[in-house]
Every structure is written in structure tokens, then in C-alpha cells.
Amino acid sequence: MSAAEPTAGRADPTAGRADPTAGRADLVHNRVAMLRAERRVSRRELAEAIGVHYQTVGYLERGEFNPSLHLALRIARFFEVPVEFVFSLDEFPRIGPVHPGR
């Protein structure tokens, strides 16, 4: 559906879902928060290094914002890893044991 197409009378397929990103075909998964924590880098420090506002880093980590290719490459360069290590169209596998009931 293009931006010019009317939406009246159409149900929102994501209405009522607990996860606001569920069902989004354009979602880009990322490991930014994990990398920041592992390297002990604050959102502000990362933001200053890559030239964005610190809130942008938060939006990115929560999946509320997809980075441009240029921004994704700057983030990967900052962490000195391939861009595919930081960003993916598929969910990343969990790292570590899964604890049922937690």
C-alpha cells in the first residue's frame, strides 16, 4: 500500500497486539544494546561517536527506528564488527541458556 492509497475501512492488523513491532515486515533486528553493554558504552557516547542524538540510539535499540545503510555502517565501524553482526532481517538467536518461567 502506498502513502497515497486510502486506508478508510481497513482494519489495523497490529491493533490489540502487545508487541508494537509484531507483524512488521520492515523490522530490522539489532544487537546495539548488547554491544553497548558488553563494551560499557553509554547511549550518549555511542550517539556522539556516530553523529546522532542519544535518543536515536534508544529508538534504534527498541526497534522503533530502522537505521539508514549509512548509519548502520557507522555503528558497525564503531564496534569494529561486520554490519551483519549488528543488524539482521531475522531475529538473532538467544545467547546463553533460556530459563523457563522467568
pLDDT digits (tens, 9 = 90+) for 47-89: 999 999 999 999 999 999 999 999 999 999 999 999 999 999 9
Reply yes or no on whether the pLDDT at 15 is more than 50: no
Domain locations along the chain: 29-88
Residue by residue, DSSP assigns 11-70 as --TTTT-S-TTTT-TT--EE-HHHHHHHHT--HHHHHHHHTS-HHHHHHHHTTS-PPPHH
CATH entry 1.10.260.40 includes domain 29-88: yes
Reply yes or no on whether the pLDDT at 97 is more than 80: no
pLDDT at 3: 43
> What band does 93 get if pLDDT is binned at 50, 70 and 90?
confident
In the three-class reduction of DSSP (H, G, I as helix; E, B as strand; rest coil), residue 92 is classed as coil
